[in-house]
């Protein structure tokens, strides 16, 4: 049996709900932590089946139709087994979602660095040498360019207007018209993309670094021309993904093709440079923001236009305006987005797609408006919070931005701050503070999970859901323990295998809430079975400390089970709730920085983030996610930029030596306050996503603090020392 639930509203469906007294929400350490620290957790590339061969991807040096010049010579090298140049290989990682097949075919290169061949050898050194010696020619003269390459794609241009923006803007007492740019970025996850494929003549088994296994299984089957039941994907541990591992990647398809052709296991691991060049990046953006307000700082008009890019034929367009649509009230609104087709690696989802760059620039513009209007930045935001979603009139499922702003302000010590910049100096360092709101859409995804209550009173949770370092193993154990009245130590959790029920996958911050709710539903099915055995209404059953109690009837679980296991299968669907209300998560971030008047260097001295993201399932893992997002916001503001050569589009800084992510010395103490707020519109758990919220607004808090410190307003990100120094000069 399967207990299915569709979230259509906040009504109580008769399910048990967490009462706040069990293990759910506790500050528990991650159950997979010790294995990772000690090296016992096996990642994709660490699988070494007998007879394994090694594959190395070879990539195009230019654009257009490609030709392998000396493939026969390479094949003749001792130890080389095959050179593959197969039409079923893929040109770039898939965006992922609903099992859609990625764009296939590598006979022509759409961007410099596109994988076009695979060299397979008996050892890794030979494979590397042979791949380096394989000569690839590309004839850019015959490149099948998009009809509107370099211009906005009319099919991807969107406009949304409310009221009369032009009139409101021209008549406003206070106006702002600024343009911000953000560079391309990459996920730069610690674990490189990797795959080990095995073919037994009937079924393909792939160990991969992948986030969305149910989709990845469908994508891989489509590429290979196999039925889905002939493909098994395993990914129990992932060393970060941040969107780059949402869809099937070139290494997975190439390894699978080689394994099926050669009849041997094949491993393909992307080098760090390949990780930067082959997989999806965040698009660069150009954003024009126009704000109009009355003398009291109440917004009368909001205009936000964004231009992004992607490869020809790719459907993804970064939703830059996603947060702008509902964060602040204004009767007159103009939102415009457009996508330009260019020949660079495909753009896709990178952590918090849309808000990461859209909220960052918009919140910096709000700081500029506060300065123009002479109003405290916190107060400006408080005066413009909407009662309902602007434009649609939909109610919010919950709205805690005001509490985040005020509690964060008090916790940071904002009051008493001089509004004027360049008021505090310590030696060569200008000291300043800044703040920003943080918002992120909340989404729910289809998800399934199975729970088995064993005769000895333990429980097993199973799903193909992944854990990309966010704490899925731990949280699902807590959920099952809460529902069944057990200790988290009595719960075993198995994840990352497509032979298990299909979870939501890790993407869009949907994992903990969606698959976690499926776990709760599976436990609810078990609870109902126990209630039936005890001749008790499910609503009157309580389970705690390994006992089931109904009225005066209290039994040890083992006695209720009588030597037989009980299984529950939970299945969640989003339902109509997402259309009835605006679901979002909220936050406020405050930062203090020091800016050198000599070098232009910015040092972040402290940050405080207050966040509301539904019911907090684990204080420790949620806090860690918020801190990780804040650190990412620091990188977005100060260091991160993927640079492409304008002549041919190749990535210039394609490794961690030149693409600068924040390191330990860059990140100060990150104080995080979590506001627990179960959202009844989010299902029986009341939980919402938190993994991407922390990045939204953190960068703008730092940019605003830079301006307050030294008077320099950086609108072309990141705020590197040369740009700050130019402003100081």
Residue 453's closest CA among 504, 492, 496, 414? 492
* Inter-CA distances, 360 with 280, 317, 643, 725, Å: 21, 18, 20, 22
Over residues 36-52, the pLDDT tens digits come to: 999 999 999 999 999 99
449 close to 501: Cβ distance less than 8 angstroms: yes
* Token code pair at residue 700: 């703008």
Cα dihedral: 261, 262, 267, 272 (round 10)? -60
Quote the CA–CA distance of 284 and 308 in Å, as a whole number: 6
74 close to 119: Cβ distance less than 8 angstroms: yes
Query: What per-residue confidence (pLDDT) applies to 13?
Result: 66
Query: What per-residue confidence (pLDDT) applies to 281?
Result: 97
Per-residue pLDDT at 144 exceeds 60: no
Q: 716: Cβ–Cβ under 8 A, 6 or more apart, which residues? A: 180, 181, 723
Per-residue pLDDT at 156 exceeds 60: yes
* Token code pair at residue 152: 């906005």
- Give the strand pairing for 285-293 and 299-310: antiparallel
Query: What per-residue confidence (pLDDT) applies to 165?
Result: 98
Helix 698-710 / helix 355-373 crossing angle, nearest 10 deg: 30
Residue 568's closest CA among 443, 713, 690, 450? 450
Query: What per-residue confidence (pLDDT) applies to 19?
Result: 84
683 close to 696: Cβ distance less than 8 angstroms: no
222 close to 101: Cβ distance less than 8 angstroms: yes
Over residues 196-237, the pLDDT tens digits come to: 999 999 999 999 999 999 999 999 999 999 999 999 999 999
Q: Which among 219, 482, 677, 692 is annotated as catalytic?
A: 692
717 close to 655: Cβ distance less than 8 angstroms: no
Neighbours of 645 (CB within 10 A): 11
Over residues 432-457, the pLDDT tens digits come to: 999 999 999 999 999 999 999 999 99
pLDDT-based confidence at 145, cuts 50/70/90?
low
Quote the CA–CA distance of 512 and 563 in Å, as a whole number: 32
Per-residue pLDDT at 148 exceeds 70: no
* Inter-CA distances, 202 with 230, 499, 707, Å: 7, 15, 63
Query: What per-residue confidence (pLDDT) applies to 729?
Result: 87
Over residues 70-97, the pLDDT tens digits come to: 999 999 999 999 999 999 999 888 886 6
Q: What percent of the chain has pLDDT over 90?
A: 92
Give DSSP secondary structure letters for 69-127.
Answer: SSHHHHHTSTTEEEEE--TTSBSS----STTPPPPB--SEESSTT-EEEEEEESSHHHH
Query: What per-residue confidence (pLDDT) applies to 101?
Result: 61
Higher pLDDT, 193 or 97: 193
Q: 647: Cβ–Cβ under 8 A, 6 or more apart, which residues? A: none
pTM check: above 0.95: yes
Query: What per-residue confidence (pLDDT) applies to 355?
Result: 98
Query: What per-residue confidence (pLDDT) applies to 73?
Result: 98
Query: What per-residue confidence (pLDDT) applies to 97?
Result: 62
591 close to 411: Cβ distance less than 8 angstroms: no
Q: Would you give the DSSP letter of residue 249?
A: -
Burial of residue 263 (CB within 10 Å: 0-12, 13-18, 19+) is: exposed
Over residues 565-593, the pLDDT tens digits come to: 999 999 999 999 999 999 999 999 999 99
Query: What per-residue confidence (pLDDT) applies to 98?
Result: 54
Residue 672's closest CA among 620, 714, 721? 620
Query: What per-residue confidence (pLDDT) applies to 562?
Result: 93
Tell me what the mean pLDDT of segment 23-39 comes to. 95
Q: What percent of the chain has pLDDT over 70?
A: 97
Q: Would you give the DSSP letter of residue 193?
A: P
Query: What per-residue confidence (pLDDT) applies to 1?
Result: 73
Average pLDDT of every residue of the chain: 95
Quote the CA–CA distance of 437 and 589 in Å, as a whole number: 6
pLDDT-based confidence at 140, cuts 50/70/90?
confident
Burial 267-293 (b: 16+ CB within 10 A, else e): bbbbbeebbbbbbbbbbbbbbbbbbbb
Query: What per-residue confidence (pLDDT) applies to 377?
Result: 98
**525 among known catalytic residues:** no
Quote the CA–CA distance of 389 and 37 in Å, as a whole number: 45
Give the range among 105-109, 123-127, 482-486, 631-635 with minimum mean pLDDT.
105-109
pLDDT-based confidence at 7, cuts 50/70/90?
very high
- Angle at the Cα of 114 from the Cα atoms of 221 and 645, rounded to 5 degrees: 150
Query: What per-residue confidence (pLDDT) applies to 172?
Result: 98
Over residues 362-405, the pLDDT tens digits come to: 999 999 999 999 999 999 999 999 999 999 999 999 999 999 99
Quote the CA–CA distance of 239 and 275 in Å, as a whole number: 13
Query: What per-residue confidence (pLDDT) applies to 143?
Result: 56
Q: Is cis: bond before 718, omega within 30 of 0?
A: yes
Per-residue pLDDT at 631 exceeds 70: yes
Cα dihedral: 533, 538, 543, 547 (round 10)? -20
- For the chain, list the domains and their CATH numbers: 3-34+445-573 (3.30.365.10), 351-443+580-728 (3.30.365.10)
Query: What per-residue confidence (pLDDT) applies to 100?
Result: 62
Per-residue pLDDT at 278 exceeds 80: yes
């Amino acid at each position: 049996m399967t207990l299915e639930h569709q979230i259509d509203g906040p009504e109580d469906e008769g399910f048990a709900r967490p009462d706040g007294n069990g293990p759910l929400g506790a500050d528990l350490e991650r159950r997979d932590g010790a294995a990772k620290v000690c090296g016992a957790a096996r990642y994709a590339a660490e699988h070494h089946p007998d007879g394994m061969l090694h594959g190395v991807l070879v990539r195009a040096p230019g654009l257009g139709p490609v030709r392998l010049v000396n493939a026969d010579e390479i094949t003749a090298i001792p130890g080389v087994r095959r050179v593959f140049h197969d039409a079923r290989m893929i040109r770039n990682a898939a965006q992922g979602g609903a099992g859609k097949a990625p764009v296939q075919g590598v006979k022509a290169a759409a961007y410099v660095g596109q994988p076009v061949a695979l060299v397979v050898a008996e050892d890794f050194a030979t494979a590397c040498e042979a791949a380096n010696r394989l000569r690839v020619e590309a004839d850019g003269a015959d490149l099948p360019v998009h009809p509107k390459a370099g211009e906005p794609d009319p099919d991807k241009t969107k406009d949304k207007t409310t009221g009369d923006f032009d009139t409101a803007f021209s008549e406003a007492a206070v106006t702002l018209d600024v343009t911000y740019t953000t560079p391309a970025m990459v996920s730069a996850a610690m674990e490189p993309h990797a795959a080990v494929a095995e073919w037994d003549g009937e079924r393909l088994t792939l160990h991969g670094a992948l986030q969305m296994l149910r989709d990845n299984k469908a994508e891989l089957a489509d590429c290979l021309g196999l039925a889905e039941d002939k493909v098994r994907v395993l990914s129990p541990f992932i060393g970060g993904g941040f969107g780059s591992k949402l869809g099937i990647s070139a290494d997975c398809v190439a390894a699978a093709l080689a394994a099926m052709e050669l009849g041997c296991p094949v491993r393909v691991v992307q080098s760090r440079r390949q990780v930067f060049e082959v997989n999806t990046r965040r698009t660069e953006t150009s954003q024009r923001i126009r704000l109009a307000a009355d003398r009291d700082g109440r917004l009368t008009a909001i205009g936000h236009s964004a231009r992004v890019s992607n490869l020809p034929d790719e459907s993804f367009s970064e939703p830059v305006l996603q947060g702008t649509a509902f964060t602040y009230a204004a009767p007159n609104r103009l939102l415009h987005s457009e996508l330009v087709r260019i020949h660079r690696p495909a753009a896709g989802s990178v952590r918090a797609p849309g808000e990461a760059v859209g909220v960052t620039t918009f919140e910096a513009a709000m700081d500029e408006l506060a300065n123009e209007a002479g109003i405290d930045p916190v107060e400006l935001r408080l005066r413009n919070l909407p009662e309902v979603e602007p434009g649609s009139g939909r109610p919010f499922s919950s709205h805690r931005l005001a509490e985040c702003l005020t509690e964060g302000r008090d916790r940071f010590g904002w009051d008493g701050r001089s509004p004027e910049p360049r008021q505090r100096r310590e030696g060569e360092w200008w000291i300043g503070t800044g703040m920003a709101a943080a918002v992120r859409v909340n989404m729910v995804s289809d998800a399934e999970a199975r729970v088995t209550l064993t005769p000895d009173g333990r429980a097993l949770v199973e799903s193909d859901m992944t854990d990309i370092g966010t704490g899925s193993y731990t949280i699902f154990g807590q959920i099952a323990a809460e529902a069944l009245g057990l200790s988290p130590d009595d719960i075993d959790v198995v994840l990352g295998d497509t032979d298990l029920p299909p979870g939501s996958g890790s993407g869009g911050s949907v994992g903990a809430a969606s698959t976690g709710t499926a776990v709760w539903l599976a436990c609810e099915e078990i609870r109902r079975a126990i209630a039936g055995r005890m001749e008790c209404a499910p609503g009157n059953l309580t389970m705690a400390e390994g006992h089931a109690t109904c009225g005066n009837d209290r039994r040890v679980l083992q006695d209720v089970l009588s030597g037989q296991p009980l299984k529950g299968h939970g299945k969640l669907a989003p339902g109509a709730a997402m259309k009835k209300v605006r679901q979002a998560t909220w936050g406020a971030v405050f930062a203090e920085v020091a800016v050198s008047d000599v070098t232009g260097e910015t040092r972040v001295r402290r940050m405080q983030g207050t966040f509301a993201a539904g019911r907090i399932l684990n204080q420790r893992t949620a806090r860690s996610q918020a801190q990780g997002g804040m650190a990412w916001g620091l990188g977005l503001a100060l260091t991160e930029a993927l640079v492409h050569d304008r002549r041919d589009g190749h990535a210039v800084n394609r490794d961690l030596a030149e693409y600068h992510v924040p390191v330990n010395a860059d990140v100060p103490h990150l104080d995080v306050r979590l506001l627990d707020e179960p959202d009844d519109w989010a299902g029986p758990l009341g939980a919402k996503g938190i993994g991407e919220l922390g990045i939204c607004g953190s960068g703008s808090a730092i940019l605003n603090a830079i301006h307050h410190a030294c008077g320099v307003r950086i609108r072309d990100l990141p705020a590197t020392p040369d740009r700050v120094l130019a402003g100081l000069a």
